[in-house]
């Protein structure tokens, strides 16, 4: 059992806010609600993981451009509204970070893991705003610290950022587990730095090559410290 569990942030702890995305998309002519955006986002996320299967890290600008193009299509944004949606999304994200969605069960999962003695922290490839963002959505109370790549000056999968975290915990890498959603960046990055790793894999695309869970609330049962989600 790991003494500490470290988490990715984007698409692991926080997600693009479907309510705010729906507002942007409706503003350019799409007929979509929060539930529709959530479904569209999950389908669009397959683009990221298909790119990973093809050898990309999943962090490249062109990969994210393809992701958002698919998201617009899946959400029903009309062709003549695509440019406007992209511009509005960039403006909103610059002024007020869009990754403010927290999936059901996130707080309860973190509380359960801390409750059985796991120390918790965050390592995120971000733009310098991640700690403030996690504070805004009420998640920082669960963690000892948040490492933001923009602040630290090094990004995953570089082992330095993982070793910086284990050093702050005063633990050996082998005593720590990392949980994230991108196979090359999170899973292989953590393993390369000597940590164990679990991949968040809601699309069931990586089970042949990684230890995976479908969602964050499945993690306690995976670790043997809680019931499965559907056992109640």
Beta strands in 125-175 (DSSP E): 146-148
Contacts of residue 229, Cβ cutoff 8 Å, sequence gap at least 6: 105, 215, 217, 218, 221
Cα–Cα dist 142/109, whole Å: 10
Structure tokens at 207: 């089970």
Interval 109-133: pLDDT, tens: 999 999 999 999 999 999 999 999 9
Helix, strand, coil share of the chain (percent; to 5)? 50, 10, 35
| Superfamily of domain 4-13+101-223 in the CATH hierarchy | HAD superfamily/HAD-like (3.40.50.1000)
Structure tokens at 102: 């927290």
Residue 163's alpha-carbon distances to 134, 155, 170, in angstroms, are: 22, 12, 10
Going from N- to C-terminal start, the domains of the chain cover 4-13+101-223, 18-95
Asked if residues 183 and 212 have their Cβ atoms less than 8 Å apart, the reply is: no
Average pLDDT of the residues of the chain? 93
Cα–Cα dist 193/173, whole Å: 7
Structure tokens at 134: 């996690």
Edge-to-edge strand order for the sheet containing 119-124?
A: 146-148, 119-124, 4-7, 176-180, 196-200, 212-213
Interval 35-74: pLDDT, tens: 999 999 999 998 888 887 787 777 788 888 898 999 999 9
**How confident is the prediction along the chain (232 residues), in pLDDT tens digits per residue?**
899 999 999 999 999 999 999 999 999 999 999 999 999 999 999 888 888 778 777 778 888 889 899 999 999 999 999 999 999 999 999 988 899 999 999 999 999 999 999 999 999 999 999 999 999 999 999 999 999 999 999 999 999 999 999 999 999 999 999 999 999 999 999 999 999 999 999 999 999 999 999 999 999 999 998 654 543 3
Helices and strands: H and E segment counts in the chain: 10, 6
Q: What is the DSSP letter of 183?
A: I
Provide the 3-class DSSP secondary structure of residue 19: helix
């Amino acid at each position: 059992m790991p003494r500490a569990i470290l988490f990715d942030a984007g698409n692991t702890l926080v997600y693009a806010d479907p309510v705010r995305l729906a507002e942007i998309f409706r503003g350019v002519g799409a007929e979509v609600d929060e539930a529709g955006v959530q479904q569209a986002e999950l389908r669009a996320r397959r683009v990221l993981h298909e790119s990973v299967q093809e050898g990309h890290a999943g962090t490249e600008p062109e990969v994210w451009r393809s992701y958002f193009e698919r998201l617009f299509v899946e959400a029903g944004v009309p062709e003549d509204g695509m440019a406007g949606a992209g511009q509005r999304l960039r403006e909103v994200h610059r002024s007020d970070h869009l990754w403010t969605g927290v999936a059901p069960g996130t707080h309860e999962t973190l509380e359960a893991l801390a409750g059985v003695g796991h120390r918790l922290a965050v390592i995120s490839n971000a733009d310098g705003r991640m700690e403030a963002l996690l504070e805004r959505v009420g998640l920082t109370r669960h963690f000892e610290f948040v490492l933001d790549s923009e602040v630290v000056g090094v990004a995953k999968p570089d082992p330095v950022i993982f070793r910086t975290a284990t050093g702050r915990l005063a633990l050996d890498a082998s005593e720590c587990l990392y949980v994230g959603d991108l196979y090359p960046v999170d899973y292989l990055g953590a393993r390369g730095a000597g940590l164990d790793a679990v991949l968040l894999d809601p699309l069931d695309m990586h089970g042949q090559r990684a230890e995976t869970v479908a969602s964050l609330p499945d993690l306690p049962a995976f670790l043997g410290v809680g019931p499965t989600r559907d056992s109640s």
